[in-house]
Amino acid sequence: MALLLYRLGKFSYRHRWLVISLWLAVLVAVGGSAAAFHGTMSNNFQIPGTETQQMLDKLKKDLPASSGGSAGIVFEAGDAGFNQAGRDAIASALAQLEKLPDVQSTVNPFTTQAALDKAPSDLAAGEQKAAAGQAELDKARATLDAGDAQVKAAEQQMTAAGVPAAQIQAQLAPQKAELLTGRQKLDDGQKQATDGAAALALAKRQLTASQGMRFVSEDGKAAIAQVQFKTSINGLTPAVRQQVQDIVHGVSSAGVTALASKEITEDVSQLFGVSEVIGIAVAAIALIVMLGTLVAAGLPLLMAIIGVAVGVGGTFALTGVIDMSSISPMLALMLGLAVGIDYSLFIVNRHRGQLLSGMDAEESVALATGTSGNAVLFAGLTVVIALAALVVPGLPFLAVMGLSAAATVAVAVVVSLTLTPAVLSLVGRKLISKRAWAKAERHNAEPDHASADRAEDQRRSSRGWGGLVTRHPVVALLAGVMLLGVLALPASQLRLALPDGGSEPVDSQAFKAYDLTRTSFGEGMTGPIVVVGTFPDGLGDQQAKAKQFDVADKLRSVDNVVAAVPVALSPDHRTAVFQVIPKDGPASASTVQVVSELRAKGSEIQQATGATIGLTGQTAGNIDVSAKLGAALPPYLAIVVGLSLILLLLVFRSIVVPLLATGGFLLSLAAAFGAVVAVYQWGWLGTVFDVANPGAVLSFLPIILIGVLFGLAMDYQVFITSGMRESFMHGENAKQAVRSGFSHASAVVTAAAIIMVSVFAGFIFSHLTMVRPLGFAMAFGVLVDAFVVRMTIVPAVMYLLGEKAWWLPRWLSRILPDVDVEGAKLQRTTAAGGAKELVH
């Protein structure tokens, strides 16, 4: 592979304009495709085959009007409450919303609350009227009974007096006809009274079911309206979301503030913000400090931007045909920038060093591509495999996320191996400052400078961080492990969920809507649970309505359920929809328990009522996704760990190095999880990281972090340990090889880690709050993995083990191919003057 990459580097150097033209053509093609074929991104994390998806499909078939997504809009008045002008403005805004093509219906909070407030008095009046009516019926019945008695007495008297029967019947017929008519009227009245009593009973049950629900706050200062859409919330375009907000914000003219919930305000169409630019600026500064010139620093940045433009542009172009979450291109963007800069940096830095040592420019580019480029290829391959393995859990949105990020990283690798050599041929000597050139020329002119360089390398390797670690390896090892162990302690409390409005920035409309809803109506109103019931066939209207309340009573008996209200019934009386309001918010642990208990209640409900139930809606769906992701975590981790062992065994031809690398990765991972829990779940340093409302951790953060951190950790393992192995293979003793290898790789790995941490940290304050904990986790994970694991624990253990670190059974050595990832064989060949022979 090193030989192939050597030739590729030389080809790119010699045919620079062809390579550059090809990449420009690719950029134009991808850009045109993205502009022409892009679709709408969403944050739809539904999983096919789950109960929530099955119930949603059932609603689309049986009750289409209730199958779309719903969202809340909270209105806030001043201390005096809502005046008539404010109520009229809200009613007008809701009426305008109903005219939008994407809106199914709206719920006016004032008319609904008025009906709820009036219901007790209406029920009392109805019961009083029913009682009076029943009293009149009882009085009429008594009168009819008395009339019947009189007719019977008259008939007996006339019979006793010997009056003929025909004469008796003829004489009493008018009275009997009148009594029969009265009896029929009484029966009709009693039937109406019975129906009325049944309706009152249903109204009473409706009132009971609605207790705990309000649409206008008790202090009269807040009101919440519901908007039902024809499509899912995730299917709404940014234009529709903005149109809804523009309409409701029009109530400000009446002195009312309108706050739309997160479901409406969330705009996933924008990928890049100010914080991300700051992260890239910090990376650029690190490059300038390390490489010394703007040209040298700008080259890795340019390569990364081109790689990201192709990778993310291609991902964006596919949004027209693939349901893609907003975090998919964001993850591709984060990784593409970070690895794109790092991979080009490794090649540029190797080429720069070789130029300063006096090597020919063309030969230097080819050799840098064959050596550092070989390590880049393997490092990129580990990241691609780890990300592509996200298809294993079988979650569609996660698979799309992993494949899009893997494709972007693959593009970054290809850019580094082809476009970087081509651009280096154009840059020439401008890569190095005049001062550095002059110093190098003076040094190269000195006699026997090679021996002096070797002596200086040996002295330098015993100083600095590498020298300190290897002088005190036991202390360094224990300190590193203890530090990571302490950082990992909070990870045992990790709780997963998808974010709600409470995770948004405190100055955002979404958070204000969430906070006002929580304080005015209870936290459960921010995320109601939708229950779909299937009733037996053949029920009449009254029977079906009674059945609804029977089911609602059972649902309301679950702990931490504030209200359970029937909201819709299909025309055939077979499908019913209920809205269950939990006590706490949708991402809380108690709401997760409520969902679990509601499902467990299903068998009891079926036995008692004959109805079956299933849960759907955003809250239940998010909980299902989090549970599925949590279940997929252990097998995915096992796959990644197993993969790392195999790959590192192949690369380093050692038993110890793969175990050490994998153990270090697990330590870094645990520490990253612990830090995420401390900041985003417990709220530590919340003011620093803008975590105003700590809660559960993003449910797919762990599985993505495993894949990404594994790949990046193996990057640094390759660059640190390959130098040690190269020194060892060139004849140095094992302990000195650890120092030499560390000394040669530490500067570029330090710069690469700083760059990667800077890029990831730029996403900690992203406009998409879902991305923030992911950016933090990656930045922190890379930070501790690079500086604590790869640059402290690994050299300490390698130094302590000495030659045992490179032990490999002979039978296994014969089986394993020698991939020569550090390109040592290629270097020896070219150093011996065989470069021309290799090319020709």
In order of their start, the domains of the chain are 1-37+292-443+831-840 (1.20.1640.10), 71-272 (1.10.287)
What's residue 837's pLDDT?
Answer: 37
Residue 108 — pLDDT band, cuts 50, 70, 90? very high
Question: What span, in angstroms and rounded, lies between the C-alpha atoms of 211 and 456?
Answer: 82
Query: Of all residues in the chain, what percent are helix, strand and coil, respectively (each to 5)?
Result: 75, 5, 20
Instruction: Give 292: exposed, middle or buried? Use CB within 10 Å, 0-12, 13-18, 19+.
Output: middle
Q: Give the distance, in angstroms, between the CA of residue 54 and the centroid of all CA atoms in the same chain.
A: 22
CA–CA–CA angle 84, 90, 93 (5° rounding): 140
Mean pLDDT, the chain, integer: 84
Residue 828 — pLDDT band, cuts 50, 70, 90? low
What's residue 75's pLDDT?
Answer: 95
Q: pLDDT tens across 120-153, in order?
A: 888 888 889 888 888 988 898 898 888 888 888 8
Indicate the pTM of the whole model.
0.78
Residue 325 DSSP label: B
- Does position 708 have pLDDT exceeding 60, yes or no? yes
Question: What span, in angstroms and rounded, lies between the C-alpha atoms of 575 and 567?
Answer: 11
Percentage of residues in the chain having pLDDT higher than 70: 91
For residues 713-725, average pLDDT = 81
For residues 48-65, average pLDDT = 83
Q: What DSSP letter does each residue of 253-279 carry, written as one string?
A: GGT-EEEE-HHHH---S----HHHHHH
Place of tokens 């032990």: 807
Kind of pairing between the strands at 697-698 and 529-534: unpaired
What's residue 826's pLDDT?
Answer: 65
Residue by residue, what is the 3-state secondary structure of 87-108?
HHHHHHHHHHHHCCCCEEEEEC
Residue 499 DSSP label: -
CA–CA–CA angle 539, 613, 546 (5° rounding): 35
Range among 195-199, 431-435, 459-463, 736-740 rated most confident: 736-740
What's residue 19's pLDDT?
Answer: 92
- Does position 834 have pLDDT exceeding 50, yes or no? no
Residue 491 — pLDDT band, cuts 50, 70, 90? very high
C-alpha atoms less than 13 angstroms from C-alpha of 733 in its C-beta half-sphere: 7
Mention every residue, 6+ apart, whose C-beta is less than 8 A from residue 323. 42, 44, 396, 397, 400
What's residue 447's pLDDT?
Answer: 64
Question: What span, in angstroms and rounded, lies between the C-alpha atoms of 96 and 581?
Answer: 28
Provide the H-helix boundaries in 730-816: 734-761, 772-784, 794-801, 810-815
Q: pLDDT tens across 6-44, in order?
A: 889 889 989 999 999 999 999 999 888 887 777 666 655
What's residue 478's pLDDT?
Answer: 96
CB 595 within 8 A of CB 583: no
| 727-741 exposure pattern, b = at least 16 Cβ within 10 A, e = fewer | bbbeebebbbbbbbb
Residue 474 — pLDDT band, cuts 50, 70, 90? very high
Instruction: Give 42: exposed, middle or buried? Use CB within 10 Å, 0-12, 13-18, 19+.
Output: buried
What's residue 836's pLDDT?
Answer: 39
- Does position 731 have pLDDT exceeding 80, yes or no? no
For residues 243-257, average pLDDT = 92
Q: Give the distance, in angstroms, between the CA of residue 327 and the centroid of all CA atoms in the same chain.
A: 7
Question: What span, in angstroms and rounded, lies between the C-alpha atoms of 377 and 417?
Answer: 8
Mention every residue, 6+ apart, whose C-beta is less than 8 A from residue 826. 2, 3, 6, 367, 370, 371, 374, 820
What's residue 165's pLDDT?
Answer: 81
Question: What span, in angstroms and rounded, lies between the C-alpha atoms of 181 and 175?
Answer: 10
Classify 731 in phi/psi space as left (phi over 0), alpha (psi -120 to 50) or beta: left
What's residue 832's pLDDT?
Answer: 47
Mention every residue, 6+ apart, whose C-beta is less than 8 A from residue 169. none
Residue 667 — pLDDT band, cuts 50, 70, 90? very high
Residue 442 — pLDDT band, cuts 50, 70, 90? low
E strands, 108-221, are: none
Question: What span, in angstroms and rounded, lies between the C-alpha atoms of 453 and 461?
Answer: 12
Q: Which of 152, 143, 149, 134 is nearest to 183 (CA)?
A: 143
What's residue 262's pLDDT?
Answer: 86
Question: What span, in angstroms and rounded, lies between the C-alpha atoms of 300 and 194?
Answer: 84
Mention every residue, 6+ apart, whose C-beta is less than 8 A from residue 177. none
For residues 402-423, average pLDDT = 91
| 253-289 exposure pattern, b = at least 16 Cβ within 10 A, e = fewer | ebebbbbbbbbbbbebeebeeebbeebbebbbebbee
Provide the H-helix boundaries in 462-540: 464-471, 473-488, 509-521
Mention every residue, 6+ apart, whose C-beta is less than 8 A from residue 547. 535, 539, 576, 609, 610, 611
CA–CA–CA angle 789, 792, 795 (5° rounding): 100
Question: What span, in angstroms and rounded, lies between the C-alpha atoms of 726 and 636?
Answer: 33
SS3 (DSSP) at 40: coil
